[in-house]
Amino acid sequence: MITDRQQAILNFIVSEYVSSAAPVPSQSIAFGFSVSSATIRNDMADLEGEGYIRRPHISSGGIPSHKGYRRHVETLPRISTEPDAGARLRRQLEESAQDIELWTKAAAEMLSDMARNMAVVSPPKAPQARLKRIELVHLQEYLALLVMVLQEAKTKQRILHLRQSASQGDLTKISNKLNALFSGATAAAITPKEPAAEPAERQVIEALKGLLAAEDAGRFEEPLIAGLRHLMNQPEFLNGARLREVIDFLEDKRRLRESLSRIVAGEKMRVVIGRENDSGEIQECSVIIARYGQSEGVNGVVAVVGPTRLNYRRTIASVQTVSDALTGLVGELS
C-alpha cells in the first residue's frame, strides 16, 4: 500500500513526465508539497521499491513504470466527455450524407487531433448483414443496377443482366415489394414468398442473397488510421527500429482489427498499458479503446494508440466523446 502523499507524488511525477519526457527530480516535486526534499526522496524510494516508478540512473529523477501508470489511471476521478467537441463531430458526420467511409475518416481525424496521438476507428458493422432497402435503376432493356443499402448504411451495387426485359416501372414495383417483405432481413431470411414470382423478381432475390452472404463471409472491416505524425513526433519513437515495429503492426489491418477486438471484448471502454498488450510490437504503447454502437447490433471501435507516456485523462475523455457521438449516429441509422 502507498500513502495518500505517495499517491499524490506519483500523480505529480506522471503529470510532469507526460509534459516533459524527462525524469522528475525530488526538488521539483518538493515545490508542490509542504515537506522537505529528504521526505520526498524517501517517498520516491518507497514508490520505486513498490515498482511504481523507476530511475534511469542512480542520481536521476523518477519516471513512471507501467505499474505506476496503471495505478495513476485507476485513481483518476470520474472523467467527463467533451460536449463541444462531440457536437462539432456530430455536425461533421451529419454533413457526410451517411457515407460510412467519410464518417470513419472524420472521426479518426478529429480523435487524433483531440488526443494529439494516433487514432484508429473501425467502420460500424453488424454481427450479420441486414438489408435496409434496395433500389433498382433501369439502364437498358435487359440491364439494371441493383443498389443494396445495409442497416449500417453501407451500400453495395451490382449490375444485373436481366433474363427478361423490364421497364423502370417494373423495377420500381419489384423494389417496393421486396423492401416491404425483406427490410431488416438477413441472407437466410430472404426467399421468394410466392412460387410464381416473376423471373426478374427471383433474379433480384438471388442477387440480394449473394451480396448479403458475401458481406457475412467478409465481416472484417478495415480500420482507418489517422495521426501517424503525432506518433512519429514522440521522443519514444525517435528510434527508427521501434517506430518501424509499430508501423508494421498497424499496416497489417486484419491483425490490428483482431487485436483491438480482443482488447475491448465484452467491455465498453478499456485502457491497456504497455506490457498488458498481447501484441509484442505495441508493448511500449498504451491503447485506450471504446466500443460504439449497439452491443448486440451495429457497432465498431474507436481507439488511441500512443506511448505509455500519455495524458490519460485527456485521452480517455477524447475517446469517450467520439464513441458517444458515433453511438448516437449509428442509433439514428438503425
CATH value at residue 227: 3.30.450.40
DSSP string, 98-115: T-HHHHHHHHHHHHHHHH
Total residue length of the chain: 334
pLDDT in tens, the chain (334 residues): 899 999 999 999 999 999 999 999 888 888 878 888 889 999 999 999 999 999 888 778 899 999 999 999 999 988 777 777 778 877 877 776 567 778 888 899 999 999 999 999 988 877 788 899 999 999 998 999 999 998 877 788 999 999 889 999 999 999 999 999 999 888 888 887 766 578 889 899 999 998 888 887 765 567 899 999 998 899 988 878 888 888 888 888 778 877 887 777 767 889 999 999 888 888 889 999 999 887 667 788 999 999 999 999 999 999 999 999 888 887 776 5
- CATH number for the domain including 173? 3.30.390
C-alpha cell at 194: 410466392
Backbone angles phi, psi at 183, to 5 degrees: -60, 125
Q: Residue 326, exposed/middle/buried by CB under 10 A (0-12, 13-18, 19+)? A: buried
The domain containing residue 181 runs over which residues?
Answer: 131-217
Q: Are residues 103 and 248 in the same domain?
A: yes
Last residue of a domain, one of 74, 91, 115: 74
C-alpha cell at 34: 509542504
Would you state the pLDDT for residue 123?
Answer: 85
Last residue of a domain, one of 217, 251, 276: 217
Nearest residue to 324 (alpha-carbon basis) of 271, 272, 256, 268: 268
58-88 exposure pattern, b = at least 16 Cβ within 10 A, e = fewer:
eeebbbbbbbbbbbbbeeeeeeebbeebbee
The number of domains in the chain is 3
Would you state the pLDDT for residue 24?
Answer: 92
Last residue of a domain, one of 217, 242, 265: 217
Q: Are residues 303 and 193 in the same domain?
A: no
Q: Residue 11, exposed/middle/buried by CB under 10 A (0-12, 13-18, 19+)? A: middle
Q: How far apart are CA 172 and CA 203, in angstroms?
A: 14
Cα four-point dihedral sign 62, 64, 66, 71: positive
In this structure, are residues 300 and 293 in contact, taking their beta carbons and an 8 Å threshold?
Answer: yes
- Give, for 256, the enclosing helix (H) or strand (E): helix 253-264
Type of residue found at 145: L
C-alpha cell at 178: 421486396
Q: Are residues 32 and 111 in the same domain?
A: no
Would you state the pLDDT for residue 19?
Answer: 93
Would you state the pLDDT for residue 312?
Answer: 96
**Within the chain, what is the greatest distance between any pair of CA atoms?**
91
Strand, coil or helix: 249: helix
How many other β-carbons are positioned within 10 Å of the β-carbon of residue 323? 26
Would you state the pLDDT for residue 281?
Answer: 87
Would you state the pLDDT for residue 114?
Answer: 92
In this structure, are residues 178 and 208 in contact, taking their beta carbons and an 8 Å threshold?
Answer: yes
- CATH number for the domain including 60? 1.10.10.10
Would you state the pLDDT for residue 156?
Answer: 87
Q: Are residues 101 and 58 in the same domain?
A: no
Q: Are residues 108 and 26 in the same domain?
A: no
